């Protein structure tokens, strides 16, 4: 659905993108992760036909972004990392403007726009002025705009940036619905955990180069071979502390009020054995899994050293 072949982009002397090879299959959600300036927006703008590559090729739904830009635009919805606000337009008028641009027949628009507003939970804001909406609402409206022509592919540039936790959750729920509709989604963020739950695959980009790509698990194993774990206990805390401290695969054990954080350097089989030992010893384990900080650790482990020397 999305393919790039030796894609490069220079801005004068700045090499923003270097030999990018991406392949995203139909119906997949691909998380594009990288720090500021890594080349995410550049890639997304090339795919959206807003920017010419310096070298290489890019295809969306089989259409060449250079040779068939109109077909590419018809196949994708692009959400930039800023929201262009028009004064004196209501949410409905805003969507209607874009429906006109996509030549949606007048007779179909009312139903379509009502459905889109419902999908992004903005039905009650149809008559509200766009510039009066919160950032989270504006992002959702922007997402509705991307969907007007029912594209197969969505390209979303940092849609969660600047949103508060509730707005992030709302956005995530909508993205899950879109995944359920089998849309192919390329979504960027500079925060790895933000995308983890949502993505089938991730690609990590740093200084214009794709430095890791694959299912999150594969990438994280390749990255470090280490998992940051969290175990929460309801009883027999001391027994758990002893078992963990004696386990050869547990490192940097940090005892907390209701549990433990540690680095686990063993395999999944050894992880399962540890859980079995804890439960067999009468420890009431209420949580056993990766610490939420694990993804950040993976990201740091992968990007460590890139660009040095």
Residues lying near ligand ATP in the complex (CB under 6 A): 11, 14, 16, 34, 36-42, 81, 190
Distance CA 235, CA 232 (A): 9
Residues 145, 139: contact at Cβ < 8 Å?
no
| Sequence-separated (6 or more) residues with CB below 8 Å from residue 110 | none
Of 39 and 136, which has the nearer Cβ to ligand ATP? 39
What is the smallest separation between the CB atom of 245 and ligand ATP, expressed in angstroms? 42
Of 13 and 103, which has the nearer Cβ to ligand ATP? 13
**Residue 278 token pair:** 């804890």
Of 8 and 184, which has the nearer Cβ to ligand ATP? 8
What is the smallest separation between the CB atom of 113 and ligand ATP, expressed in angstroms? 30
Of 198 and 205, which has the nearer Cβ to ligand ATP? 205
In this structure, is the dihedral angle defined by the CA atoms of residues 112, 135, 194 and 202, taken in order, positive or negative? positive
What backbone torsions phi and psi does residue 105 show, to the nearest 5 degrees? Answer: -55, 140
What is the smallest separation between the CB atom of 42 and ligand ATP, expressed in angstroms? 3
The vertex-185 CA angle with 189 and 91, nearest 5°, equals 85
The vertex-228 CA angle with 224 and 231, nearest 5°, equals 155
What is the smallest separation between the CB atom of 53 and ligand ATP, expressed in angstroms? 12
| Sequence-separated (6 or more) residues with CB below 8 Å from residue 129 | 88, 89, 90
Of 152 and 161, which has the nearer Cβ to ligand ATP? 161
What is the smallest separation between the CB atom of 208 and ligand ATP, expressed in angstroms? 7
């Amino acid at each position: 659905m999305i393919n790039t072949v030796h894609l490069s982009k220079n801005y004068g002397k700045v090499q923003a993108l270097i030999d990018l090879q991406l392949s995203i299959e139909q119906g997949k959600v691909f998380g594009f992760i990288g720090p500021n300036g890594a080349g995410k927006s550049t890639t997304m703008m090339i795919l959206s036909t807003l920017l010419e590559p310096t070298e290489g090729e890019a295809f969306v739904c089989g259409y060449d972004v250079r040779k068939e830009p109109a077909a590419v635009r018809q196949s994708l919805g692009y959400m930039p990392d800023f929201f262009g606000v028009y004064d004196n337009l209501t949410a409905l008028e805003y969507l209607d403007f874009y429906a006109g641009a996509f030549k949606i027949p007048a007779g179909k628009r009312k139903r379509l726009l009502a459905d889109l507003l419902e999908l992004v939970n903005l039905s009650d804001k149809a008559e509200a002025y766009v510039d009066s909406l919160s950032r989270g609402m504006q992002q959702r409206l922007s997402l509705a705009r991307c969907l007007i022509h029912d594209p197969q592919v969505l390209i979303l540039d940092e849609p969660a940036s600047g949103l508060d936790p509730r707005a992030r959750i709302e956005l995530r729920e909508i993205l899950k619905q879109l995944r359920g509709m089998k849309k192919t989604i390329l979504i960027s963020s500079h925060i790895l955990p933000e995308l983890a739950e949502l993505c089938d695959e991730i690609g990590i980009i740093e200084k214009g180069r794709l430095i890791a790509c694959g299912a999150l698990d594969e990438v994280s194993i390749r990255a470090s071979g280490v998992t940051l774990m969290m175990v929460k206990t309801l009883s027999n805390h001391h027994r758990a502390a002893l078992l963990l401290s004696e386990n050869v695969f547990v490192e940097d054990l940090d005892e907390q009020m209701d549990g433990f954080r540690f680095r686990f350097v063993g395999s999944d089989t050894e992880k399962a054995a540890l859980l079995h030992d804890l439960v067999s010893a009468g420890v009431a384990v209420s949580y056993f899994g990766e610490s939420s900080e694990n993804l950040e650790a993976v990201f740091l482990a992968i990007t460590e050293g890139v660009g040095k020397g």
